[in-house]
Amino acid sequence: EAQVTQNPRYLITVTGKKLTVTCSQNMNHEYMSWYRQDPGLGLRQIYYSMNVEVTDKGDVPEGYKVSRKEKRNFPLILESPSPNQTSLYFCASSLYGGPNEQFFGPGTRLTVL
Amino acid sequence: GENVEQHPSTLSVQEGDSAVIKCTYSDSASNYFPWYKQELGKGPQLIIDIRSNVGEKKDQRIAVTLNKTAKHFSLHITETQPEDSAVYFCAAPDSSYKLIFGSGTRLLVRP
């Protein structure tokens, strides 16, 4: 089944404790992206990747890191999480960047205490 | 950069009635306008999209209209059913083709 998977689905952590949220897609998509969803703000892009080893900042990149060492994986790293990073996170992929359908993962709900 | 505004933020309709959600965008160069549906506990899923060379597109009970002059586009759902209850997002690309999403509309279809 073609899909985007994320792990973990739920995470409660404390301020400053490094964490990684994994994202994997099995559709051989070149483009991958991370969004955060907050009430009243819609989906805001954190980072995106046009292809392997190519990453770029989105609208809200502060406090996050990403890497794209393999085509299928695009992990999101929070080196020192803070409470304002409490949010619902989505990974997405599409065949190419630009005006194409994006396929979203099921989401990761993160709480930083 | 692109700015997308979406209204209303919440919408409650009776089953069988129609629902309309509206979005405006700021970048006149935008040429692709998707709509995503997000069901509870799931990620958004594309339900319909329209490109700037057409003014309307239909897919069964859903349709999207585009007015490039006024820079707005709308999602129309006819004969609403309880399973249409979800959060809907519109989006438009900015100059670097990154999708900018609206703030979302929570649609409730009352049985």
- B45-81 pLDDT, tens per residue? 999 999 988 899 999 999 999 999 999 999 999 999 9
Chain-chain contact of A42 with B102 (C-beta, under 8 angstroms): yes
Gap between the Cα atoms of A32 and A21, Å rounded: 14
Distances (CA, A) of A31 to A12, A36, A93, A109, B95: 29, 17, 5, 23, 17
pLDDT exceeds 80 at position A98: no
pLDDT exceeds 80 at position A1: yes
Chain B touched by A48 (CB under 8 Å): yes
pLDDT of residue B2: 84
pLDDT exceeds 90 at position B20: yes
Give the 3-state secondary structure of residue B84. Answer: helix
Chain B CA closest to residue A41: B103
Distances (CA, A) of B88 to A112, B29, B38: 27, 23, 6
Give the 3-state secondary structure of residue B83. Answer: helix
User: Looking at residues A20-43, what average pLDDT do you find?
Assistant: 95
Q: Of all residues in chain A, what percent carry a pLDDT higher than 90?
A: 90
In A, which residues are within 8 Å of B93 by CB distance?
A: 98-99
Q: Quickly state the pLDDT bin for A37 (edges 50, 70, 90).
A: very high
Give the closest of A40, A41, A58 to B98, CB-based: A58
User: Looking at residues A79-95, what average pLDDT do you find?
Assistant: 97
User: Looking at residues A89-98, what average pLDDT do you find?
Assistant: 91
Give the closest of B51, B98, B101 to A42, CB-based: B101
Chain B touched by A90 (CB under 8 Å): yes
User: Looking at residues A97-113, what average pLDDT do you find?
Assistant: 92
Name which of A43, A50, A54 to mutate to probe chain B: the one with the most chain B Cβ atoms within 10 A of its Cβ: A43
Q: Quickly state the pLDDT bin for A40 (edges 50, 70, 90).
A: confident
β-pairing, B86-93 vs B105-110, is: antiparallel
ω into B8 cis (within 30 of 0): yes
In A, which residues are within 8 Å of B103 by CB distance?
A: 40-42
On average, the pLDDT of chain A sits at 95
Chain B touched by A99 (CB under 8 Å): yes
Q: Are A43 and A90 in contact (CB under 8 A)?
A: yes
pLDDT of residue B52: 80
Nearest CA-CA distance, residue A55 and chain B, Å: 13
